Amino acid sequence: MMIGILADTHDNRPAIREAINRFVSLDTGLVLHAGDITTPQSLEIFCDLPCEMIGVFGNCDRQQKRIRETAMKCGTIRVENRVADLSIDGLRVGMVHGDDPGSVLALAEAAVFDVIISGHTHRPAIRRSGETLLINPGEACGERYGEPTVAILDTDTLETEVLSLSF
């Protein structure tokens, strides 16, 4: 299965729409959001996805109650607290926003996850820590570094690619 991965959308609605379009064109079966959705109105746009989306809260997600209510109304979106422990196609996937500098490293050192997804740095990175694949899709919003990106992960091969967005 192809998974779409993004983080740090920061209420940039054109970026969200472009990310959705890319994920739809790649026939993703699931989308993972590593935090900083920012507003319920932004989350509402993700209701247009033809697949499920799972997210975690980031440090800029201050309207958590309203974001959860929006997710429930949508029906295909689930937002976890700060950490998600997911089973996807036989893989154990951990997801955090990453604003706690030690959280990603601690999860990797625990060696219980096949894949760990994080955001917060606004910089894309794909690397390994031991047997664990670490994925940061970068900033979908493109507001800090001017390079809006998302990532895709093939759960069969673990091939991961960072994709640039243009909006």
- pTM beyond 0.85: the answer is yes
Under a CB-based contact definition with an 8 Å cutoff, are residues 101 and 79 in contact?
no
Per DSSP bridges, beta strands 2-6 and 149-154 are antiparallel
User: Can you list the domains of the chain with their CATH numbers?
Assistant: 2-164 (3.60.21.10)
Give the contacts of 61 (CB within 8 A, at least 6 positions apart): 35, 36, 37, 38, 67
One digit per residue, pLDDT tens: the chain, 167 residues? 999 999 999 999 999 999 999 999 999 999 999 999 999 999 999 999 999 999 999 999 999 999 999 999 999 999 999 999 999 999 999 999 999 878 898 899 999 999 999 999 999 999 999 999 999 999 999 999 999 999 999 999 999 999 999 98
- Residue 101's pLDDT is 75
- Residue 103's pLDDT is 86
Nearest residue to 119 via CA among 41, 164, 57 = 57
Q: How many CB atoms lie within 10 A of CB 6?
A: 35
- Residue 166's pLDDT is 93
- Residue 21's pLDDT is 98
- Residue 105's pLDDT is 87
